[in-house]
Amino acid sequence: MWRGATGLRLVVSRSADVGALAAAGERSGVRQTWGASYGLRRRQDHDRAGYSEPVLYERLGGYDAIAAATDALLERLFADPQLKDYWKGASNDVKRKGRQLVVDFMVESAGGPAFYTGRDMKTAHTGMRISESDWEVFMGHAAATLASFGVPEREKGEVLAFFSGLRGEIVEG
């Protein structure tokens, strides 16, 4: 469960609807534990290994919570004086499609029922000239966003460690 500054609570219930989403993800083979093509284990392997703990997707609060955190993070990035030019000239449609790719990437990577159809991180970011300084600003916004949603330390650490693992594919120079 995450509680934002507005008091909005996003919780994944263990209802039949969530079960149906999970089953659909299992059938499509996209349920993964945290890390996508970056070292994740398939959700089925997670379950077969006897883990009784929910995957990160469930511990974060599910799709709606991840989408809300993505929206908040993107809002911060779009407004940041150092980073905002990366979206200069992008139409609202392009931003909306990019947002959905981020949500799908995060949900799939956290073990949820989504399928990321975008390019790999290296291809997607080559030529953008993202510097080490830009990366540090991004990581600061990511940490602040997770904190603003009240994400527990353990889960926050896992998300930030995952982002850190992407650094080499995103930062140029």
> What pLDDT is attached to residue 53?
86
Query: For every residue of the chain, which 3-state class applies, written as one string?
Result: CEECCCCCEECCCCCHHHHHHHHHHHHHCCCECCCCCCCCCEHHHHHHCCCCCCCHHHHHCCHHHHHHHHHHHHHHHHHCCCCHHHHCCCCHHHHHHHHHHHHHHHHHHCCCCCCCCCCCHHHHHCCCCCCHHHHHHHHHHHHHHHHHCCCCHHHHHHHHHHHHHHHHHHCCC
> What pLDDT is attached to residue 16?
33
Q: What integer is the mean pLDDT of 107-122?
A: 95
> What pLDDT is attached to residue 157?
96
pTM: 0.73
Residue in the block written with tokens 């993107």: 74
> What pLDDT is attached to residue 70?
98
> What pLDDT is attached to residue 171?
97
Q: How far apart (Å, rounded) are the C-alpha atoms in residues 25 and 103?
A: 15
How distant, in Å, are the alpha carbons of 80, 125, 130, 159 from that of 155? 25, 26, 26, 6
> What pLDDT is attached to residue 19?
39
Q: How far apart (Å, rounded) are the C-alpha atoms in residues 87 and 83?
A: 8
Q: How many angstroms from the chain centroid is the CA of residue 111? A: 10
Summarised one tens digit per residue, pLDDT across range 50-105 is 667 899 999 999 999 999 999 999 999 999 999 999 999 999 999 999 999 999 99
How many Cβ atoms sit within 10 Å of the Cβ of residue 145? 23
Summarised one tens digit per residue, pLDDT across range 9-56 is 333 333 333 333 344 344 333 333 334 333 344 455 555 566 678 999
Task: Look at residue 4 and tell me whether its pLDDT is greater than 50.
Answer: no
- For the chain, which domains are there? 11-170 (1.10.490.10)
Residue in the block written with tokens 């120079």: 173
Please state the length of the chain.
173
Q: What integer is the mean pLDDT of 150-163?
A: 96
